[in-house]
Amino acid sequence: RCARARCTGARAQERGSRTRSAQRTRAASTSRVPAAMGVLAEATAALAPAALRLDGGAGSLGAEQFLRACGLVLPVLGALGAGLAVVKADIGGNIDRLSKRREEDPGKYKALFDIVRAEMDARTASRTDSCTNALLWLRRAMAFVAALVGELASDASLECAPAAAAAYERTLKRHHGWLVQQGVTLALKLAPARARFEAATGGAGADEMAAFVAAAEPALEEVRVFLDTHGLDDVAV
């Protein structure tokens, strides 16, 4: 009986050893892949006209395409740490609201602005819970991200915290009340070191950052102009 017990124990120990070895192998394999590998490049590709617009890149901004591109920016914000958690949550929530509306009738809402036009016809576009309002704040938050990345691209010595502060001053700050401004300003000071951000985005350098900004700005400006033309963007940026 003792011999069988020793044998059983040995087999159990061997199985445990194999399990731990497999776990270490999976962990090592995962660790070789950056946590957010190429996230900036992926977002840049999704913002290119051929990927973002209907009719092979020659038509209107596609609803599904635009929302997907914005969603790909979330890992970029994740790489910027807890200080950007509020902006990340805001972008994610507005994407969800717009996506749910699009999914109600994908054929009707193929173009992004068709969602807004439908609410204008229903006279609901100005409501705080409207998809129009979601698009307004999504654009504003995305403009902040583009401005932040642009700050980093223009100065290789600039750290994330001052870059975020400068971007906030240029974009979102004017839309926030005093209390929110104080909270956001404090939170942005928690942004990680630039080297950590670059590593988390798969080694994104100045050229890759500049490419992201160049891809994002035309689409965001088109959204701003559309909303402003219809009196749905109260502050011109």
Q: In this structure, is residue 51 part of a structural domain?
A: yes
Mark the ranges of the chain whose per-residue pLDDT is less than 70.
1-37, 235-237
Task: Check whether residue 87 and residue 121 sit in a common domain.
Answer: yes
The CATH number for 127's domain is 1.10.3520.10
DSSP 206-220: HHHHHHHHHHHHHHH
Task: Check whether residue 118 and residue 59 sit in a common domain.
Answer: yes
Task: Check whether residue 204 and residue 130 sit in a common domain.
Answer: yes
Q: What is the pLDDT of residue 108?
A: 97
- What is residue 81's three-state secondary structure? coil
Domain coverage including residue 12: 1-33
Task: Check whether residue 117 and residue 222 sit in a common domain.
Answer: yes
Q: In this structure, is residue 235 part of a structural domain?
A: no
Q: In this structure, is residue 117 part of a structural domain?
A: yes
Q: What is the pLDDT of residue 81?
A: 86
Q: What is the pLDDT of residue 233?
A: 85
Q: At what angle do helices 85-104 and 178-188 cross, to 10 degrees?
A: 110
Q: In this structure, is residue 234 part of a structural domain?
A: no
Q: What is the pLDDT of residue 107?
A: 96
Q: What is the total count of domains within the chain? A: 2
Q: In this structure, is residue 25 part of a structural domain?
A: yes
The residue behind tokens 């654009």 is 139
Q: What is the pLDDT of residue 202?
A: 82
Tell me the β-bridge partners of 61. Answer: 53
Tell me the β-bridge partners of 62. Answer: 111
DSSP state letter for 204: -
Task: Check whether residue 95 and residue 160 sit in a common domain.
Answer: yes
Q: What is the pLDDT of residue 17?
A: 47
Residue 18: Cβ within 10 Å count: 10
Please give the backbone phi and psi of residue 47, each rounded to the nearest 5 degrees, phi first. Answer: -90, -5
